[in-house]
Amino acid sequence: MEVIVFRHGIALERDEAADMGLSDEERPLTDKGRRRTRAAAAGLRAVLDGDRVDSVVTSDLLRARQTADILVDYIESPPAVESDALRPGAGAEALDAWLHGQGARNRLVLVGHEPDLSDWVSWGLTRKRERILAFKKAGSCLIEFPGHAEGGTGTLRWLLTAAQLRALG
């Protein structure tokens, strides 16, 4: 199984959203966030080099959903689906449990939030709770697992910042 982890793009700041009467869940990508996410998605398409993606899975928070929709357009994936396992605070265990139920899917893209994504990636690589990396907005990585995604069995194939992805696009 291959899992591509992608952090959502630049979103409206919490304070600005609150001033507009929006909850954290309703914070959208900014114009800059949409532009940069599209450019990063073009880079991801270049990295994939025509390899197909079985599914894009996202948190249901607006900024993640908007990021996932951009990715779907660029990598020609089936429409994104939402999972509570990618909601902020769900934890690495919830994501592990969800992934175990996914059967024979070969390549997934997960769109979510920090620090949850880096916690899960660290767990997948080391089976330890210590975070060994972090994702900036629209940053991504690919982890390959020999079978189902199991903590400590993943191999990091690549880790790219948003700027690196944009340069590849």
How many domains does the chain contain in total? Answer: 1
Counting Cα atoms < 13 Å in the Cβ hemisphere of 169 gives 21
The range of the structural domain enclosing residue 118 comes to 2-168
pLDDT in tens, 25-52: 999 999 999 999 999 999 999 999 999 9
Listed in sequence order, the residues at least 6 apart from 19 whose beta carbon sits closer than 8 Å to its beta carbon are none
Q: Give the count of beta carbons closer than 10 Å to the beta carbon of residue 76.
A: 12
pTM for the whole thing? 0.96
Q: Give the count of beta carbons closer than 10 Å to the beta carbon of residue 15.
A: 8
Token couple for 156: 């990091």
pLDDT of residue 104: 65
Do residues 114 and 7 make contact, with C-beta atoms less than 8 angstroms apart?
yes
Question: In residues, how long is the chain?
Answer: 169
Do residues 149 and 93 make contact, with C-beta atoms less than 8 angstroms apart?
no
CATH number for the domain spanning 6: value is 3.40.50.1240
The CA dihedral of 14, 94, 4, 32, to the nearest 10 degrees, is: -10
pLDDT in tens, 106-140: 899 999 999 999 999 999 999 998 999 999 999 99
